[in-house]
């Protein structure tokens, strides 16, 4: 049986390795997200401009990317670009999904943001299912890549989880509509 000192050393070394790799990925993606939220085809969109003209965020690359995913979102009952953008930010960290929705709607809290989007309880449930079943944060994906060592397996896992999330959220939404729960 290994000594507690060896266990501690091994756990500490592996934890530090994870933090360095995950931190690098998270930092890089955070910069990318900042870029997407603050630049548009017309140039830089400052935070001050977004506070004065809330529609300025709708011209950013993040909004363009979110709108490109709206057709997929509509099948899950999530037809707003801000929700799709929030799901995109969830790739960096799952806990950022709700804060992105709050920020994108200009609301002061999650409940107010959900109301601002006009979401029904069924749509909120569909969002919850999609959010909790699609791929884990990018840091976990980075560790999976390191552990699997075969990129084909990694992409297979990612595709499976995305398909599962899409299928479950869509099924829940459309079954709910069929049962008359889409109020």
More confident residue, 78 or 97: 78
Exposure b/e, 30-39, CB count within 10 A at least 16 = b? eeebeebbbe
**Is the distance from CB of 58 to CB of 36 less than 8 angstroms?**
no
pTM of the complete model? 0.77
Residue for token digits 């309880």? 121
User: What's the confidence (pLDDT) of residue 179?
Assistant: 96
Mean pLDDT, the chain, rounded, equals 87
Q: What is the 3-state secondary structure (H, E, C) of 82-133?
A: HHHHHHHHCCCCCCHHHHHHHHHHCCCCHHHHHHHHCCCHHHHHHHHHHHHH
pLDDT band at 100 (very low <50, low <70, confident <90, very high): confident
Model confidence pLDDT, tens digit, residues 124-176: 999 999 999 999 888 788 888 888 989 999 999 999 999 999 999 999 999 99
- pLDDT of 54 higher than 70: no
Strand intervals (E) in 25-141? 39-40, 43-44
């Amino acid at each position: 049986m290994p000594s507690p000192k060896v266990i501690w050393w091994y756990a500490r070394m592996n934890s530090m390795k994870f933090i360095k790799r995950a931190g690098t990925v998270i930092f890089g993606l955070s910069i990318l997200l900042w870029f997407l939220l603050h630049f548009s085809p017309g140039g830089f969109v400052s935070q001050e401009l977004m506070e004065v003209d809330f529609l300025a965020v709708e011209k950013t690359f993040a909004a363009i990317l979110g709108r490109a995913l709206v057709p997929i979102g509509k099948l899950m009952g999530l037809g707003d670009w801000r929700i799709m953008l929030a799901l995109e930010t969830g790739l960096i960290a799952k806990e950022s999904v709700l804060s992105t929705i709050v920020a994108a709607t200009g609301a002061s809290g999650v409940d107010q943001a959900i109301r601002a989007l006009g979401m029904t309880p069924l749509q909120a449930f569909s969002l919850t299912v999609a959010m909790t079943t699609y791929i884990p944060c990018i840091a976990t994906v980075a560790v999976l890549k390191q552990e699997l060592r075969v990129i084909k397996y990694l992409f297979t896992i990612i595709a499976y989880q995305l398909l599962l999330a899409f299928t479950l959220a869509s099924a829940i939404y459309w079954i709910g509509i069929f049962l008359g729960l889409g109020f």
